């Protein structure tokens, strides 16, 4: 009888083995899921299906200091989970040899919705967004060909790449696909504000006041559920521009001093603020928009008239901004250091 | 075999044997059903062929082979050049048929340059049989591939021909030393692909083959041979003593891209 059951079981296994294994079978819990209140993403992983092994490989690469020239710096050195993947408290981050970067390390979340990357939008695709930081002389300072050879020599990575992509080999595309599986799944959509939008939470009176003021004065640029319209604007920080901003990419004088409008999701966690990290807290940011906007030829038209907000109104806006903090995201263990 | 066994087993009252034979039959059937139907062998004769394109890198007129780490004098400006890098992309190959229509290669991205030898050969796969009286190609990489994320092969960023700070392929990279240049070095990275920003430094080049028709058949081993006279990148309007470094898609880059286009001419066909 036992033998019979075994035999039937064998049969069943053989029959089922006809079914091809699909990515869904391997990683149901790690699929890229668009939050119900979000718009369609720019990047949908159609050419790079998310798998458990691909995500875990990307996670390892993200946290691995072997990605830097001096084995001292990883992506996570300047993109820390607890700060929504920004660099806690640092106006400018430090790369290999303690060198300071050019601009403030931005938070990383909802990247699959970004049409472009970096403060000036110079990087046009999520898959290659890590390339700039890895090769920048004052960030990870790695020649990418040297990096690939370094990874190829590490047995652990030989195995992980094979597991993630089904055959041996480490190359540019696989590296970037794995990295994107990790960074593209960094979705922040479960703040108190999200709960409010979905009808599952209510905001306090001060938060509601702040929300109304925010929508009146800030939401033209920090628009929609993603809290940015992804445009490039001069928000009146300076009259002279040591950093040309968007003009560096477009060569267009009209783009001088313009930078990407950042998402304000998790903004309470991503201090300091602005492309050069000049403001250390949200009070300073609000004060800038009320009292400090500098005129120049490329100043955004929206800011030519000052935003009148008294101190209690500013406090209300900040209390609203605090509802954008997503601790479910920043405490999600699947994004933590695997080493 | 199994069927026979079942039959014999039932006849002899060996039900257990019959059962196992039946299951074995099922098993065999399931294994066989897993197999894909064998592909029908392709009976059609081939209609296309891989062809070779060879680029003969030269310098000046009368020309000499261009090699790395050797001194050359520019034929018209008399400025000195010693190359450490000479790399560029040739993509989007198209061939004009005798009826005047163009056949476009579906995927031809080739990182070309001077390596150990001045001669660089690459393959264009599956060019249809026919006679062609012109070829054209893009110097650089088309905008679509500049905005499509991580690529492999010749388009992999680790080839050192991809800008990280402003995503996009470098169409041509020329580096080396010159006694006339500021600090004795030159470094030209021409790149950019957006017409909207006037940052497109890619250039189309068309070369007539009407004098020496290029025929691809089942019998021959076709080879398209081109000259690339790299000295054409410089002239009185682009002196290395005046500009020794371009790393953008500026007006200077546009001018040099126009000159670089003149480097290519027909050497011959085989």
Chain B residues with CB inside 8 Å of A7's CB?
A: 20, 23
**The pLDDT value given to residue B134:** 97
- Cβ distance B166 to A148 less than 8 Å, yes or no, reads no
Chain B residues with CB inside 8 Å of A18's CB?
A: 30, 33-34
By C-alpha distance, the chain B residue nearest A147 is B158
Summarised one tens digit per residue, pLDDT across range B204-240 is 999 999 999 899 998 888 999 999 999 999 999 999 9
Mean pLDDT of chain B: 88
Measure Cα distances from B254 to A248, B201, B264 in Å. 17, 6, 17
Helices (H) and strands (E) in chain A, counts: 14, 2
Parallel/antiparallel/unpaired status of strands A232-233 and A259-260: antiparallel
- DSSP secondary structure letter of residue A259: E
Percentage of residues in chain A with pLDDT exceeding 90? 88
- Cβ distance B33 to A128 less than 8 Å, yes or no, reads no
Cβ-contact A91, A104 below 8 angstroms: yes
User: What is the ipTM metric for this complex?
Assistant: 0.84
Chain A residues with CB inside 8 Å of B165's CB?
A: 118, 122-123, 132, 136, 248
Whether pLDDT at A240 is above 90: yes
Q: Is B249 on the interface with A (CB under 8 A)?
A: yes
Summarised one tens digit per residue, pLDDT across range A51-63 is 999 999 999 999 9
Whether pLDDT at A27 is above 70: no
With CA atoms as reference, report the closest residue to B55 among B153, B139, B169. Answer: B139
Counting Cα atoms < 13 Å in the Cβ hemisphere of A255 gives 18
Higher-confidence residue of B169 and A2: namely B169
Query: E-strand spans in chain A?
Result: 232-233, 259-260
Q: Is A126 on the interface with B (CB under 8 A)?
A: yes
A312 pLDDT tier (thresholds 50, 70, 90): very high
Mean pLDDT of chain A: 92
**The pLDDT value given to residue B11:** 56
Whether pLDDT at A28 is above 70: no
Nearest to A131 among B33, B164, B199 (CB): B164
In angstroms and rounded to an integer, the radius of gyration of the C-alpha atoms of chain B is 29
- Cβ distance A8 to B249 less than 8 Å, yes or no, reads no
Where do runs of H (alpha helix) occur along chain B?
2-11, 15-34, 143-146, 251-261
Q: How far is CA B269 from the centre of its chain?
A: 19
- Cβ distance B164 to A17 less than 8 Å, yes or no, reads no
Higher-confidence residue of B1 and B130: namely B130
- DSSP secondary structure letter of residue A294: P
Percentage of residues in chain B with pLDDT exceeding 70? 84
**The pLDDT value given to residue B42:** 57
Higher-confidence residue of A3 and B182: namely B182
Summarised one tens digit per residue, pLDDT across range A188-212 is 999 999 999 999 999 999 999 999 9
Closest-CA distance of chain A to residue B24, Å: 9
Q: Is A19 on the interface with B (CB under 8 A)?
A: no
A251 pLDDT tier (thresholds 50, 70, 90): confident
Write the CB contacts of B220 (distance below 8 Å, at least 6 apart in sequence).
Answer: B270
Write the CB contacts of A64 (distance below 8 Å, at least 6 apart in sequence).
Answer: A74, A339
- Cβ distance B30 to A176 less than 8 Å, yes or no, reads no
Chain B residues with CB inside 8 Å of A126's CB?
A: 149
Interface of A with B in 147-176 (CB under 8 A): 147-148, 171-173, 175-176
B19 pLDDT tier (thresholds 50, 70, 90): low
Percentage of residues in chain B with pLDDT exceeding 90? 75
B1 pLDDT tier (thresholds 50, 70, 90): very low
What is d(CA A105, CA A144) in angstroms, rounded to the nearest whole number?
A: 21
What is d(CA B108, CA B124) in angstroms, rounded to the nearest whole number?
A: 7
- Cβ distance A172 to B198 less than 8 Å, yes or no, reads no
Summarised one tens digit per residue, pLDDT across range A162-190 is 999 999 999 999 999 999 999 999 999 99
**What is the average pLDDT across B173-180?**
98
B43 pLDDT tier (thresholds 50, 70, 90): low
Chain A residues with CB inside 8 Å of B28's CB?
A: none
Nearest to B150 among A135, A173, A248 (CB): A173
Nearest to A131 among B34, B157, B159 (CB): B157
What is d(CA A266, CA B205) in angstroms, rounded to the nearest whole number?
A: 51
Measure Cα distances from B68 to A219, B58, B176, B228 in Å. 57, 11, 9, 14
A1 pLDDT tier (thresholds 50, 70, 90): very low
Q: Is B258 on the interface with A (CB under 8 A)?
A: no
Among left, alpha and beta (phi > 0; psi -120 to 50; other), residue A320 is alpha
Cβ-contact A275, A104 below 8 angstroms: yes
Parallel/antiparallel/unpaired status of strands B223-229 and B48-59: parallel
Range with the poorest average pLDDT among A61-65, A330-334, B37-41, B226-230: B37-41
pTM of the shown model: 0.85
């Amino acid at each position: 009888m036992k033998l019979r059951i075994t035999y039937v079981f064998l049969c069943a296994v053989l029959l089922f083995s006809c079914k091809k294994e699909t990515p869904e079978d391997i990683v149901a819990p790690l699929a890229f899921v668009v939050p119900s209140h979000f718009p369609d993403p720019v990047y949908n992983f159609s050419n790079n299906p998310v798998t458990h092994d691909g995500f875990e490989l990307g996670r390892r690469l993200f946290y691995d200091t072997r990605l830097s020239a001096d084995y001292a710096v990883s992506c996570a050195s300047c993109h820390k989970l607890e700060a929504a993947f920004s660099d806690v408290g640092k106006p400018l981050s430090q790369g290999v040899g303690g060198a300071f970067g050019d601009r403030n390390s931005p938070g990383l979340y909802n990247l699959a919705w970004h049409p472009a990357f970096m403060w000036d939008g110079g990087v046009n695709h999520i898959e290659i967004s890590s390339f700039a930081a890895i090769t920048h002389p004052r960030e990870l300072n790695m020649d990418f060909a040297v990096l690939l050879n370094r990874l190829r020599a590490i047995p652990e990575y030989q195995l992980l790449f094979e597991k993630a992509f089904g055959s041996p080999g480490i190359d540019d595309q696989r590296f970037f696909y794995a990295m994107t599986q990790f960074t593209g799944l960094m979705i922040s959509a479960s703040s108190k504000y999200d709960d409010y939008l979905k009808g599952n939470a209510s905001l306090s009176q001060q938060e509601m006041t702040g929300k109304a003021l925010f929508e009146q004065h800030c939401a033209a640029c920090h628009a929609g559920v993603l809290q940015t319209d992804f445009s490039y604007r001069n928000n009146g920080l300076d009259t002279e521009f040591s950093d040309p901003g968007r003009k560096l990419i477009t060569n267009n004088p009209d783009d001088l001093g313009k930078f990407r409008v950042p998402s304000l999701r998790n903004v309470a966690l991503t201090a300091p603020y602005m492309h050069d990290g000049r403001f250390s807290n949200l009070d300073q940011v609000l004060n800038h928009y009320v009292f400090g906007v500098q005129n120049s030829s490329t100043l955004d038209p929206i800011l030519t008239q000052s935003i009148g907000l008294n101190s209690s109104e500013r406090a209300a806006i900040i209390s609203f901004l605090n509802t954008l903090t997503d601790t479910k995201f920043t405490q999600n263990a699947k994004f933590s250091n695997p080493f | 075999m199994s069927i026979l066994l079942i039959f014999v087993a039932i006849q002899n009252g060996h039900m257990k044997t019959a059962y196992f034979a039946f299951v074995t039959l099922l098993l065999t059937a399931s294994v066989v059903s897993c197999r894909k139907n064998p592909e029908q062998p392709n009976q059609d004769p081939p209609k296309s062929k891989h062809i070779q394109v060879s680029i003969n890198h030269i310098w000046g007129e009368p020309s000499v082979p261009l090699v790395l780490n050797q001194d050359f004098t520019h034929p018209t400006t008399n400025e000195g050049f010693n190359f450490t890098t000479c790399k560029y992309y040739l993509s989007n190959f198209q061939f004009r048929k005798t009826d005047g229509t163009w056949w476009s290669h579906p995927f031809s991205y080739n990182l070309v340059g001077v390596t150990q030898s001045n001669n660089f050969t690459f393959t264009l796969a599956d060019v249809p049989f026919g006679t062609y009286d012109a070829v054209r190609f893009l110097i650089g990489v088309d905008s679509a591939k500049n905005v499509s994320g991580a690529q492999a092969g010749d388009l992999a960023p680790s080839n050192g021909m991809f800008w990280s700070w402003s995503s996009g392929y470098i169409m041509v990279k020329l580096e080396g030393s010159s006694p006339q240049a500021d600090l004795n070095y030159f470094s030209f990275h021409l790149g950019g692909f957006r017409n909207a920003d006037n940052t497109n430094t890619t250039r189309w080049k068309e070369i007539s083959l009407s004098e020496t028709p290029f025929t691809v058949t089942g019998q021959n081993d076709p080879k398209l041979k081109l000259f690339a006279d790299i000295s054409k990148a410089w002239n009185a309007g682009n002196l290395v003593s005046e500009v020794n470094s371009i790393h953008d898609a500026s007006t200077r880059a546009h001018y040099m891209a126009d000159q670089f286009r003149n480097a290519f001419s027909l050497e011959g066909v085989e």
